[in-house]
Each structure stands twice: as C-alpha cells, then as structure tokens.
C-alpha cells in the first residue's frame, strides 16, 4: 500500500487542532485505489470545542458593520481566485473528478461569494411612516447565531460555499462538517478566510462521521443546520435537528429526468445527455440520470449517445485529456456497477456497458466505471427507483408528452428536470405542469445562478428553504418588526431645534 503522505485535522478557533484523535480515517486517491492520507475524526468533545469557539466569536462578529463584513468577503473572494488551482488540485486528488470539473466547481462556489459581498444591500429592511398617528414601523433582519453546515463528498468546495459566505455575511458564525472522504478543500478555505481577516472562531471545521454529525444536530448552541446529501440522511438530519429546536434546510437526493420531444434537435439532446449524465462521473445531485425519449426518436437518440460515449476519454482526473475520472470509493463503484446486472435481470437492455470502457493512464486498482446506458428501463425497475449517483443513464420510452410528464411527476424526487424541444408552447406548458423545483429548457443541468435559490421539491427537500439567493439570506437571519413613536418636541420639554424669533 502507498505510504500516506498527508494528514488532515480540524480547524478550530482560527488554527489547526493540536489534540490527539481517538479515531482516524483514510483518504484515498480514487485514480489509484490507494491511501493518500489520513484525517482525524471528531468526537463530541471536538465538536463542543468548535461550537464554543463559534459562540465566543459571535458577539464581536455580529456587531461588525455590514461594510466590514463585506470587505472580508471581498478579500476572501480574491484569495480563492488566487488559489483556485490549488483548490481544484485538492478536489481532484481526493474526489477523482477531472481538473476542469474541479475548477468549474470552485468558480460556481465563487458566484455565491460574489452574491454575499452585496450583503449591505441584501439586508436592507422596510420602513413605513405614520402607520398610525405619530407612529412609524420598520423591519430588520438579524443573525440567527451559531450555524452548522454538513456537506457531501461530490462538491467539497462548492457546496460549503453555498452556505458559509451568506451565513457569515449575515453576522452568524459557522461550523462546517465536510465529507471525510475529501476533507482537504475545506481546510484551505478555512485558511483563506483567516487570511481575509475573519476573526478567529467565526469559521470552524470538524471532520468525522455520524458521531460528529449527531453532536452538531443535538448541540444546544447550534441554532440552524444546513445539509446536502442523500434523501435518507436528509430526512434524518431534518427530524433530529428540528426535534432539538433548530432551523433546518436539508437538501436530499434526486432522480433528474430529461424529456426529449420528437421535434428536438437530437444532436443537441445527445450532447446534453452525455455531458449531464457522465460529467463528474454522474456523482452530482443535478446529473441527468433518466432520459425520457418520446416516440418515435428513442432508437436514434440512443444511437447518437452511444456514438459519443465511445469517444470519451476516461482516466485520472489530473491527466491531460481525461474527460471523466473514477468514482469516489471502491464500495461506491461496486454498488453503482451492480445496477447494470439488476437492470438487465429486470428486463432493461444494456446499450452501453461501462465496464468495457477503456481507461487511459489509470491504475488497475482505481475505482473505474465507464459511461453506461440502460435502455428500455421502466419505472418499476430498481435502476429507475434508486438514486444511483454514478455514470449510469437510464432511458425510458414514452408514447406521448402526457405520458412523459406523468412519469416525471410520479417520481418521489423533485430536484431538477429538463425538456428538449423546439416548441415554445410545449416548453412553457412543461415548466408550468412539472412538479420539480429546478427546470431547464434545452439546458440539461439547470443549476440557478447564485442570486436565485437552489433546491428541489418532494423528497429532494426537507424544510421549506432553499440554499443561497434570497432564501439563503432569510434562512440565516430572523425577521424583526419594530413599531416606534417619539414625542414631537412641540409637546414641551427640552427642544434642541433651530432657534427662531417668536
């Protein structure tokens, strides 16, 4: 086994933790299948220390002016841009995605930082004069307190940046629990926040597994929790945190459908299906995992997709020319690959078998599975019902637009969807009728820009607030309405008005 070369630990109160961990986990290089480092796992004691640091920093940061908070975020933005190559390299080394994907992740995270830099405008309240005789009313939004973020392995930089820039801008302090599979990006972000002038304790990072998560969900000083991950864990996070009186936004899993109507540009649709289905090895909650082909274009479209897949280069994420990297762990790769056999056993056709796809420059022990297409999938099959979270595209055939819409709306998930058509009326009808939170029209991955909010419907969201955008600002603040009356100086008493002749 390869000698471990890195060790990662917690970031508490503005510096790396110096204690001795009771438990450590291995960090893998997915392209080689070998251990590349270790990471300390937090117990309740380390979580307590991080929350205590955040609580101690809260009064000072909460009272810091909006302009000063924005200035720290502006400086952080510039530092992230300067170190974007290093961030991308850390992501690729531990997650496996190709460098261009990792760089794109950092860029999308920075869009939320850009949005948060406008916090002086975003926190402006309302004012109504003379709501009753001599009485004014106004509204303000104030920080919640210490807040926590629990984030997944597939976007170790972007998803945390969906959360903490807005939380910090609003005057909260933050404790991040990133995925233990790829912890290094979060620690570089912590270092850059410190360099940007964020006070010690305002941002903390604890690593670990379920004990660390449970300690955050039950901690009496954590006021709100943000989460992104699978639906079963999102449900658990929401139920546990709310039972402890916390505000929760928990984004769960997805089964994103791309509906292709017969009038669509099939070359555009095939390109979109390949990019959205197999980018980042399908390990993203906005990946297209189901293609609903409306008769009679199914065979032609699947053929175009298969042709494109044959030209894709699968290899190590840091290798020039690689277009798709490995999956994140061996266990996950094996689970994803199991759907190929179960799909065929249940009646699907294996149009493209990713197990046969060549790997360019990758070690034999890497966590490889090439792009795969299961055709003639039906909603009763396990490959359709489960969130596979890998490079497996399921093709479902539909006889009409109405049947395609029925398939999408019957699915328990409601994260993202797309329709490909040249008919504006059909596209407008679909966006109105589909029961999904994020919709693309001839756009396969409709991730909203930072000034809108990200989140789905149904079993893809627990809690009622999406992340970033206006909803993100509202999640990390509490509204306060003030009704005020001041006696006019003409009523007598001290009068500091300008002296006039009587």
In whole angstroms, what is the distance from residue 335 CA to residue 337 CA? 5
Q: What is the largest CA-CA distance in the chain?
A: 100
Q: What is the DSSP letter of 18?
A: -
Do β-strands 413-414 and 457-458 pair in parallel, antiparallel, or remain unpaired?
antiparallel
Please state, in angstroms and rounded to a whole number, the distance separating the CA atoms of residues 276 and 270. Answer: 10
As a whole number of angstroms, the distance between CA 494 and CA 496 comes to 6
Q: Can you read off the two tokens belonging to residue 261?
A: 């109507």
Catalytic member of 161, 285, 348, 408: 285
Residue 103 per-residue DSSP state: H
285 given a catalytic annotation: yes
What b-and-e string marks burial along 162-175, b requiring 16 or more CB atoms within 10 Å of the CB? Answer: bbbbbbbbbbbbbb
212 DSSP assignment? H
E strand residue ranges, 111-255:
127-132, 135-143, 146-150, 173-177, 203-205, 222-228, 247-251
CA distance 169 to 71: 10
Order of strands, edge to edge, in the sheet holding 15-16? 15-16, 11-12, 203-205, 173-177, 146-150, 222-228, 247-251, 461-462
For 142, the token pair is 């104030």
Tokens of 183: 């912890």
Catalytic residues: 285
């Amino acid at each position: 086994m390869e000698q471990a070369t890195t060790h990662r630990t917690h970031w508490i109160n503005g510096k790396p933790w110096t204690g001795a961990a009771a438990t450590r986990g291995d960090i893998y290089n997915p392209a080689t299948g070998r251990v590349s480092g270790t990471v300390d796992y937090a117990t309740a004691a380390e979580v307590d220390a991080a929350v205590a640091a955040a609580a101690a920093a809260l009064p000072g940061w909460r009272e810091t002016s909006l302009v000063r908070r924005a200035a720290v975020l502006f400086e952080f933005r510039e530092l992230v841009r300067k170190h974007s190559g290093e961030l991308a390299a850390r992501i690729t080394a531990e997650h496996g995605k190709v460098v261009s994907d990792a760089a794109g992740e950092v860029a999308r995270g920075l869009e939320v930082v850009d949005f948060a830099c406008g916090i002086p405008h975003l926190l402006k309240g309302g004012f109504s004069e003379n709501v009753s005789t001599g009485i004014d009313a106004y509204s303000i939004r104030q920080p919640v307190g210490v807040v926590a973020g629990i984030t997944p392995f597939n976007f170790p930089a972007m998803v945390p940046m969906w959360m903490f820039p807005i939380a910090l801008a609003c005057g909260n302090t933050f404790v991040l629990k990133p995925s233990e599979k790829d912890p290094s990006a979060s620690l570089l972000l912590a270092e850059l926040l410190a360099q940007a002038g964020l006070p010690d304790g305002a941002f903390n990072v604890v690593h670990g597994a379920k004990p660390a998560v449970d300690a955050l969900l039950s901690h009496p000083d954590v006021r709100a929790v943000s989460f992104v991950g699978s639906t079963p864990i999102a449900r658990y996070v929401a139920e546990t945190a709310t039972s402890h009186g916390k505000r929760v936004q928990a984004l769960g899993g997805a089964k994103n459908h791309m509906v292709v109507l017969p009038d669509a540009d099939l070359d555009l649709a095939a390109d979109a299906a390949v990019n959205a289905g197999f980018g980042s090895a399908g390990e993203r909650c906005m990946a297209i995992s189901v293609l609903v082909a409306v008769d009679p274009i199914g065979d032609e479209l699947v053929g175009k997709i298969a042709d494109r897949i044959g030209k894709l280069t699968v290899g190590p994420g840091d290798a020039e020319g690689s277009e798709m990297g490995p999956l994140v762990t061996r266990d996950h790769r094996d689970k994803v690959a199991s759907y190929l056999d179960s799909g065929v056993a249940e009646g699907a056709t294996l149009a493209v078998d990713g197990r046969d796809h060549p790997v360019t420059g990758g070690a034999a022990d890497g966590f490889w599975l090439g792009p795969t297409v299961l055709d003639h999938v039906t909603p009763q099959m396990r490959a359709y019902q489960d969130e596979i979270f890998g490079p497996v595209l399921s093709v479902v055939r539909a006889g009409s637009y109405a049947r395609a819409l029925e398939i999408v709306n019957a699915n328990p998930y409601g994260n993202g969807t797309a329709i490909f058509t040249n008919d504006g009326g059909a596209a407008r009808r679909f966006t109105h009728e589909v029961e999904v939170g994020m919709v693309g029209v001839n756009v396969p991955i409709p991730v909203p820009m930072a000034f809108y909010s990200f989140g789905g419907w149904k079993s893809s969201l627990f809690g009622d607030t999406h992340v970033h955008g206006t909803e993100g600002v509202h999640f990390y603040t509490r509204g306060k309405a003030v009704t005020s009356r001041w006696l006019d100086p003409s009523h007598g008493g001290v009068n500091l008005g300008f002296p006039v002749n009587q």
